[in-house]
Chains A and B, each alone.
Chain A
Amino acid sequence: MASRFGGLFADRQADRVVPPSGFTATLTVLASGAMAFLAVFSLALSLAAGRLADRWGSELSRGATVRIIAPQDQEEAQINAALRVLDSTAGIQTARRLSSAEQQALLSPWFGAELDLNDLPVPKLIEVTETPAGFDAEGLRLRLAAEVPGAILDDHSRWREPLTQAAGRLRILGLFCMVLIAGTMVAIITLAANAALSANAQVIQVLRLVGATDAYIAGAFVRRFTVRAALGAAVGIALAMLALALLPGAQDAAAILTGLSFAGWHWVLPLIVPPLAAIVALLATRAAARRSLERLS
């Protein structure tokens, strides 16, 4: 008997004053698990969008293209003129004319490998790479317009910026989803805690009769809900990480879809979800307990 009696005083065992079962227990575990699952996906979305934005930003910003559209007899002269301008422009590391074979390779996905470029009025391309400091795109455009009338500079910013912006907003959206998930979790756990406290009004009455303070009563309920939320979240993140790990590998063609996962040390980040869920549950239950104890006094 002494050992069973002693168990009541262990911190964990003191929570035995709260009856062990009830729908609120299941609700808390399930809600916490579901929210953690969604939180991990939101986190993965946010991080994947961030990676995509960085890649688009860094890779594409290092390159530019000059197109030469000129009558055939002036083509070579304009290409050479453009190369001279580019070679003498500060911030440009290399300027290289693409060979016919390279241009054909670029167009082959659309026109097939047998395409003869000589049959088409395809502009000639010069591939430009920048130094880390970059070049003055507007200045270069003005020089090309003056010296090489058939040259058009494309520094990719026209289509790169909207993509980078979209990826950046997707990242913010992912973080916002996590805030919404946390808010929803607070609401569900508060409801569950309120229901549990109301259902256990008799327990609270008995505890008060024997001299329990509000902190003791609230603590018993708070610990119960915190543990359940942490357990539910642990199961939720385990399932979410398994689902992410089983997604197909990343491919450039559909990076936003197949890249929805974690990379490197980011796989550690979901592990903070259960402690966060426990903190959310602790704060929500404590607030609910205080209100309920005030109401039941």
Chain B
Amino acid sequence: MIELEQVAYSYGDGALLSDISLQLAPGSFHFLTGPSGAGKTTFLKLLYGALRPTSGYVRLFDQDVRDMDRDAIATMRRKVGVVHQDCQFLDHLPVDENVALPLAVAGYERGAEAENLAELLNWVGLNHRAAAHPAELSGGERQRAALARAVILSPDVILADEPTGNVDWDMSQRLLTLLIELNKMGKTILIATHDLGLIRTAKSHIQARVLRIANRNVQLAGADL
């Protein structure tokens, strides 16, 4: 599904990631940990084609990123739902239109998925906030709206970058529950996080692989997690 082979990435002269080889199998659940600045966000961007590797190759859904132009990557990205820590909304649109944005850009017919949208907002507990604007939402509501937007096209892979970074414990558990539900539906999940408690909770419910970025490389974390 997503495959990296001897991938390296550099910002200017400084190498951030090097010699990373990894596969994300369909339906698997992964955590990615590591200190701030280690390259977790960069690694995630490589996984959804926002960055191209300096060397090595990234293969997304059997396509080499090096052979894909911007539009091909954009189209491929509809199969990868992304949740950022800062959520990234269009602030002038209400929550329901922000959540439905992937449908609009994918060219869905008017109102074709309105029912699904309502169900999705209900699933993340935001149906009562559909008409609110992003600035009016709490941190947890924003994360849930971002998660709803990430899954509205029913992508095969969901990548979340510190999704619980701005929310309290209860909300982080609620978000984790949603992500575990998605995994049980067959979605491949990768969550970049500092939150070891979140990882431990998840591992008590599902089989999750924990990866750690260290020394510019991604390694399988030890049993201490």
Contacts and interface: CB of A to CB of B under 8 A. Distances in A.
Interface of A: 1-2, 4-10, 14, 16-17, 19-20, 202-203, 205-216, 293, 297
Given A1-B96, A214-B74, 11 more contacts: A5-B97, A5-B117, A6-B111, A8-B101, A16-B93, A203-B90, A211-B75, A211-B105, A213-B74, A215-B71, A297-B70
B30 interface: no
B90 A212 contact: no
A137 to B, nearest CB: 71
24 contacts: A1-B130, A1-B131, A4-B96, A4-B131, A5-B97, A8-B97, A8-B100, A8-B101, A9-B109, A10-B110, A19-B92, A205-B88, A208-B74, A209-B84, A209-B88, A210-B78, A210-B102, A210-B149, A211-B75, A211-B77, A211-B78, A211-B105, A213-B75, A297-B70
B58 interface: no
Contacts of A4: 94, 96-97, 131
B89 interface: yes
A216 B91 CA distance: 19
Nearest to B82: A209
Contacts of B71: 213-215
A206 to B, nearest CB: 5
B110 A6 contact: yes
A268 B108 CA distance: 41
A212 B149 CA distance: 14
A295 to B, nearest CB: 12
B22 interface: no
B105 A216 contact: yes
B196 interface: no
A159 B185 CA distance: 92
B214 to A, nearest CB: 28
B66 to A, nearest CB: 15
Nearest to B72: A213
Interface string B108-122: 111110110110000
A9 B109 CA distance: 7
B132 to A, nearest CB: 12
A1 B102 contact: no
Contacts of B108: 9
Nearest to A203: B90
B85 to A, nearest CB: 13
B15 interface: no
Nearest to B104: A8
Contact of A5 (B82, B92, B96): B96
A14 B110 CA distance: 10
Nearest to B94: A4
A273 B115 CA distance: 45
B110 A9 contact: yes
B74 A212 contact: yes
A43 B100 CA distance: 48
Contact of B102 (A6, A20, A211): A211
A14 B109 CA distance: 11
Contact of A210 (B70, B77, B114, B115): B77
